[in-house]
């Protein structure tokens, strides 16, 4: 199994260039009053501080403070990206809404009639919101199942570093490193939230995409 480095220089460059392209497109659309679909995100419900960022559980805590991004026909800021305007048009093969926005802007650039009016864009927006949620859910579950299949077949008795997230009945909810996938750690030992411990696999349910872990003997 090969773990893709999502923070590699090449991936970061591509990601930043796509964000820049989407931002420029949103600015152009607003400046020339071309109707498009914007992606917006409200400010967090409370300020994110340096202390929060230093916390081992910072990702889980900050995620609760951030609102979900949403689609709108009205321009608005995107707090997560730190941008005053944002749209998405860089993945037309993956998202139909991206193709729609490309068509809108291309028509404007060549002085043709815009292919979509506000009502038609609203219909695209509604469909895009629903399909985005569904596709993210399906993609996330598929990745978990494939990881569980891999662990069941090839991991054996090797140890896994886990981050303790919260206490639950008969154990703790933990995050398996480096995959950032949640699992259940069965133990009577008292652990601290944010603590990292070593564990081994106890039971894998591939279809349910769940894993039950136990502490290695040296941790007990």
Q: Tell whether the model's pLDDT for residue 186 goes beyond 90.
A: yes
Distances (CA, A) of 45 to 5, 48, 69, 79, 165: 31, 9, 14, 11, 21
Say whether both 15 and 92 belong to one domain: yes
Does residue 144 lie within any of the structural domains?
no
Say whether both 107 and 37 belong to one domain: yes
Does residue 101 lie within any of the structural domains?
yes
Does residue 196 lie within any of the structural domains?
yes
End position of a domain, from candidates 116, 143, 177:
116
CA 76 to chain centre: 20
Does residue 193 lie within any of the structural domains?
yes
In b/e form, how buried is each residue of 110-142, taking b as 16+ CB within 10 angstroms? eeeebebeeeebeebbeebeeebeeeeeeeeee
Report the SS3 class of residue 68. Answer: coil
Nearest to 182 by CA among 19, 190, 217, 199: 199
pLDDT value of residue 209: 92
pLDDT tens for 31-55 read: 999 999 999 998 887 777 777 777 7
Provide the pLDDT confidence category of residue 13 given band limits of 50, 70 and 90.
very high
Report the SS3 class of residue 113. Answer: coil
Q: Mean pLDDT in the chain?
A: 90
pLDDT tens for 95-115 read: 899 999 999 999 999 999 999
Say whether both 41 and 98 belong to one domain: yes
Say whether both 93 and 27 belong to one domain: yes
Say whether both 24 and 108 belong to one domain: yes
pTM beyond cutoff 0.85: no
Say whether both 112 and 171 belong to one domain: no
Does residue 172 lie within any of the structural domains?
yes
Q: Which residue has the higher pLDDT, 129 or 175?
A: 175
Q: Tell whether the model's pLDDT for residue 88 goes beyond 90.
A: yes
Range of the domain at 201: 155-219
Say whether both 40 and 94 belong to one domain: yes
Say whether both 17 and 111 belong to one domain: yes
Q: Tell whether the model's pLDDT for residue 149 goes beyond 70.
A: yes
In b/e form, how buried is each residue of 151-167, taking b as 16+ CB within 10 angstroms? beeebeeebbebbbbee
Say whether both 13 and 109 belong to one domain: yes
Does residue 57 lie within any of the structural domains?
yes
Say whether both 112 and 162 belong to one domain: no
Q: Give the residue-averaged pLDDT of 17-23.
A: 96
Does residue 79 lie within any of the structural domains?
yes
Say whether both 20 and 94 belong to one domain: yes
Q: Tell whether the model's pLDDT for residue 3 goes beyond 90.
A: no
Provide the pLDDT confidence category of residue 62 given band limits of 50, 70 and 90.
confident
* CATH value at residue 161: 2.40.50.140
pLDDT value of residue 219: 63
Give the contacts of 146 (CB within 8 A, at least 6 positions apart).
Answer: none
Q: Tell whether the model's pLDDT for residue 220 goes beyond 70.
A: no
Q: How many domains does the chain have?
A: 2
Does residue 180 lie within any of the structural domains?
yes
**Residue 45 burial class via C-beta count within 10 angstroms: exposed 0-12, middle 13-18, buried 19 and up:** exposed
What percentage of the chain exceeds 70 in pLDDT? Answer: 97
């Amino acid at each position: 199994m090969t773990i893709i480095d999502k923070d590699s220089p090449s991936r970061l460059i591509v990601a930043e260039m796509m964000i820049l392209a989407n931002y420029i497109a949103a600015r152009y659309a607003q400046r020339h009053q071309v109707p498009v679909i914007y992606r917006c995100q409200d400010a967090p419900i409370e300020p994110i501080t340096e202390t929060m960022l230093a916390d081992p559980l910072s990702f889980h805590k900050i995620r609760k403070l951030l609102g979900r991004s949403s689609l709108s026909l009205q321009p608005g800021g995107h707090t997560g990206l730190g941008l005053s305007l944002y749209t998405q048009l860089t993945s037309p093969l993956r998202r139909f809404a991206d193709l729609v926005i490309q068509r809108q802007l291309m028509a404007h650039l060549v002085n043709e009639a815009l292919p979509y009016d506000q009502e038609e864009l609203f219909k695209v927006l509604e469909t895009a919101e629903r399909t985005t949620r569904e596709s993210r859910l399906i993609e996330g579950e598929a990745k978990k199942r494939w990881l569980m299949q891999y662990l069941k077949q090839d991991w054996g008795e090797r140890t896994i570093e886990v981050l303790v997230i919260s206490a639950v009945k008969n154990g703790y909810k933990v995050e398996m490193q480096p995959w950032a996938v949640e699992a259940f750690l069965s133990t009577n030992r008292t652990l601290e939230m944010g603590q990292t411990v070593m564990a081994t696999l106890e039971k894998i349910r591939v279809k349910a995409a769940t894993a039950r872990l136990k502490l290695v003997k040296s941790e007990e």
